[in-house]
Amino acid sequence: MKLYLSSYKLGNETETLKSWLEPTHKKVGYIANAFDFTNMPPENRAKHMEFDMNELKALGFTVEVLDLRDYFDQKDRLREKLKTLDMLWISGGNTFVLRAAMRLSGFDELILELRERDDFIYGGYSAACCVLSPSLKGLQIVDDPYNFPYPQIQEPIWEGLGLIDYAFLPHFDSDHPESADIDKEVAYCTENKIPFKTVRDGEVVLVERA
């Protein structure tokens, strides 16, 4: 599995992303569950989703919404669905909410199976990349870990997916409303000896083999 980890939206490596997908294999599942947090206005969620999907379609990809809520407690169904896709694109938002949706749907286990597919791409921005870290400790400075949109989970999940071995800190030194708090995350990680990587908006971390 390849990783396309962007700080914000598609970033500056779209030509690489297109080159990773064969011309006839461009089916993308778009996951926007990081927008499920309780104080997200529905109209804002819809606007973000429309923008993200239009960006992907402009690259020539076929895009469909993959809502993890439709697969809560249905891991086998989700496994079969993922087999039909060539790539996932996951939005930013609240990392802890996204992590909860991944737990409830079994996605956090299935993504480990997908690591064995050389032709599969995990892509996304901000929260989508943060959740891949070994631990989500430190991310509570920016994202509220106590925002619980799903009644099944009422405690923060601090374990990340562990597909990368550092804390992914997006929006660093960028024109983004969270940039000042990212500096605080850097200080937290430094103080607590947590390996981290800062990524500016526009930048993308490419991993050829996760």
Residues 106, 104: Cα–Cα separation, whole Å: 6
23/196: higher pLDDT: 196
pLDDT for 12 equals 96
The three-state secondary structure class of 86 is: coil
Query: Which two tokens mark 38?
Result: 């309780």
- pTM here is 0.95
35 pLDDT more than 70: yes
* Average confidence (pLDDT) over 28-50: 94
pLDDT for 149 equals 97
**What confidence tier does 112 reach under pLDDT thresholds 50, 70, 90?**
very high
* Average confidence (pLDDT) over 106-118: 94
Write b or e for each residue in 45-75: b if 16 or more Cβ atoms lie within 10 A of its Cβ, otherwise e: beebeeebbeebeeeebebeebebeebbeeb
46 pLDDT more than 80: yes
pLDDT for 23 equals 67
178 pLDDT more than 90: no
* Average confidence (pLDDT) over 92-118: 96
Query: Which two tokens mark 93?
Result: 């938002």
Domain range holding 113?
A: 2-207
pLDDT for 173 equals 85
Residues 204, 129: Cα–Cα separation, whole Å: 10
Give pLDDT tens digits for 80-95.
999 999 999 999 999 9
CA dihedral 108, 177, 140, 36 (to 10 degrees): -40
* Average confidence (pLDDT) over 54-82: 96
pLDDT for 77 equals 98
Number of structural domains (the chain) is 1
Residues 173, 180: Cα–Cα separation, whole Å: 8
pLDDT for 176 equals 82
Output the average pLDDT for the chain.
Answer: 95
Give pLDDT tens digits for 19-33.
998 766 789 999 999
63 pLDDT more than 80: yes
pLDDT for 124 equals 98
Q: What is the CATH number of the domain that holds 14?
A: 3.40.50.880
**CA nearest to 10, candidates 87, 116, 85:** 87
Query: H-helix or E-strand containing 90?
Result: strand 87-90
Q: Are the C-beta atoms of 172 and 199 separated by less than 8 Å?
A: yes
Calculate the alpha carbon distances from 166 to 94, 184, 195, 202 in Å. 18, 16, 5, 20
